[in-house]
Amino acid sequence: MAEISIKDIRKSYGRTQILHGVDLNFKSGEFVVILGPSGCGKSTLLRMIAGLEEISSGEISIDGTVVNDLEPRDRGCSMVFQNYALYPHMSVAANIGYALKVAGVPRAERDRRIAETARIVGLEELLDRKPAQLSGGQRQRVAMGRAIIREPKVFLFDEPLSNLDAKLRVQMRVEIRRLHKRLSATSVFVTHDQVEAMTLADKLIVMNKGHVEQVGTPLEIYHRPRTRFVGSFIGSPAMNFFDSTVAPEGNFVLFDGIRVAIDPALGRDNAGKPVAAGIRPEHCRLVSAGTANSVPAIVDFVEELGSGRIVHVEIDGQNFAVAMDEGQLFEAGSSVGLQLPAEHIQLFSLETGLRLDDDVPALKRTIKTTVAA
Amino acid sequence: MIERTPILNAVTYFIMFLGLLLILGPFWMIFAASTQSLAQVNTVPFNFMPGADFLHNLQAAWQRANLGPALFNSFVTSVLVMTGKIVVAALSAFAIVYFRSPLRHVFFWMVFLTLMLPLEVRVIPTYNIAADVFAPVRWLIQTLTGIELSLQWNLLNSYSGLVLPLIATATGTFLYRQFYMTLPDELAEAAKMDGARPWRFFIDILLPLSRTNMLALATIMFVYAWNQYLWPKLMTTEAEYRTAMVAMRTLVPSVNSLPEWNISMAGALIIMLPPLIVVAVLQRWFVRGLVSTEK
């Protein structure tokens, strides 16, 4: 159990700066997920917490102690690596117990703790095997066992599920969550998979190009992305955007020459501003062509998901994804109308990409209704 | 690739057979000669059929060259050189691969350059140093401080003298470096997270993983050390430290002596045996260690 505080952390390799001043605070026992596209600096940040990467400037403290100059072994963290990094010549038991062996824990005590850890991660039967004789999921478990046995204050996960197949990934995700519930150590989990991020996180951190874009609960981040990048990164398919200008009256934006109504409270403050308007695919509606208040669109193609479908439409050369339930059928090439409900349209500054209504109560109401639904 | 080319196959087999003959032919000559009597071995043309004097020749060679102590010396120096080379190679490659020092590439290339300076090229300076190990140190201290020391260490006629100058190894360092570089970085990081210091990581993780690599190196280096002639010849003036290769020299007939090639060949056969055994035992790992890595 430990708090982690990260103050103005920067990292550069020679001239190239990887992290541009990151400030974060993780509460004790929290499950923190750092999400971002590859190359955004998320792994570097994790490795700096672990002590595997030098800190160019700034300060990291764990439980109030500044750890900048501490060796990894003195930081009380343990880490699960993407490729597991098991010791190939050691048995499962030896792999799990290696940290204790290094620490000089007596044999009997060590064996007892190996057995206990093996029970937690479900490897009791396989203790004598070598890593090469294990399946991907089992190797993953050994890596977790190796992390658990030291009873660390902090767990660090560096994309631990990305080498597993889709089904196993879902299963291990559940197991990691369960394990966290049981051990309740502060956990930091780095991933580029937004489903993993959404399902695991107590606190979700979205990073891009060495900056923290947003910190919040998964639902906050999904429903109120702070920047255009977050909106376009989270959600599958991503949020739809179109560039426009808020009408002087503040109650609509133009999209392909059609007036699309927006929340007047939001529009009033930003009248006349150039904006990027965003809306989630599940909030768009398709109606028959020519319906009032709809933007004419051509159906490009349809993705069937079984539980629903995603219809990709084209408006003036721009693609829009619309998520729909089963039932309605649309054929590729047909003309339709696209309706964008005002209460779901979010506005971002065209220059900075920042959300325009960082604290307008009207939008918060929207979140609640969506969550309830 | 599957192809049906009977003629090409026949040609390939013929070439392989020719190669085999070229390799085995001289061996057979040594063996045949070592079994013949003095008269038989000197007939022209050479008779390739074995004679009946094999045991007699072996015995004569053993006694004349005093092969017992010589083989023992060879064995001790070869094992020491082999072990020393492996230890030095494993450690220097460890330093080059796992420690971020700004000069590590310089050091690596310096080691690598010594591949171009085999013992034969640097034999005179090496001999000078071996005769007086502390000479450079004394010189350095004298030029720096003006103090003249009387440090002396002479390596001539000793096992350390036979072994130490042969231990530095660019080949081994290079082989080990290549091996370490195939290991994922996360292995070192995982060990770090588990609390292992570099030395612990080296002993617990790197050494066991490099087993095949080590055995491959052992094979090459044993044979290399066993076959040394020039250095032991220069180095040892006393019969006590004579190695088998040097002792072999006494079996080669000189201008005014009897042309007893049968006895030389019998001696050669005996001296050839230990490296052959080592290669035969270790060849499985030898091939594996050079070709692939176990992971």
- pLDDT digits 0-9 by tens, A304-348: 888 888 999 998 888 899 998 876 778 888 888 898 888 899 989
- Token pair 């290094």 in the structure block, residue: A102
Q: Per residue in A176-206, pLDDT tens?
A: 888 888 888 899 999 998 889 999 999 999 9
How many structural domains is chain B composed of? 1
pLDDT at B294 over 70: no
Q: What are phi and psi of A274, to 5 degrees?
A: -75, 130
Quick check: A146 and B208 CB within 8 A? no
pLDDT at A359: 57
What domains sit in chain A, N to C, each tagged with a CATH number? 4-223 (3.40.50.300), 229-372 (2.40.50.140)
Mutate to test the interface with A, among B183, B189, B194, B210 (most CBs of A within 10 A): B194
Tens-place pLDDT, residues B147-163: 777 777 788 888 888 88
Q: Which residue has the higher pLDDT, B293 or A72?
A: A72
- A257 and chain B in contact, CB less than 8 A: no
The one-letter amino acid at B105: H
The pLDDT > 70 percentage for chain A reads 95
Q: What is the CATH number of the domain that holds B31?
A: 1.10.3720.10
Task: Determine whether the interchain pair A83/B195 forms a contact, defined as Cβ–Cβ distance below 8 Å.
Answer: no
Instruction: Tell me which of A146-150, A246-250, B140-144, B150-154 is least confident.
Output: B150-154
Residue B1 lies in a domain: no
What's the predicted TM-score (pTM) here?
Answer: 0.80
Q: Which domain holds residue B182?
A: 6-291
The band of A91, judged by pLDDT with boundaries at 50, 70 and 90, is very high
Of B186, B195, B294, the CB nearest to A73: B195
Q: Nearest CA to CA, how far is A35 from chain B (Å)?
A: 21
Which residue bears the tokens 């007036």? A259
For A118-128, write each residue's pLDDT tens digit: 988 888 888 99
d(CA B181, nearest CA chain A) in Å = 15
Q: Please name which of A4, A117, A8 lies closest in space to residue A51, comparing C-alpha atoms.
A: A4
- Residue pLDDT, tens place only, B204-214: 999 999 988 88
Q: Residue A361: which pLDDT band, with cuts at 50, 70 and 90? A: very low
At A47, list the tokens.
Answer: 């490795």
Number of residues that make up chain B: 295
Average pLDDT over residues B51-65: 87
B78 is a domain residue: yes
Q: Of A90, A108, A161, nearest to B194 (Cα)? A: A90
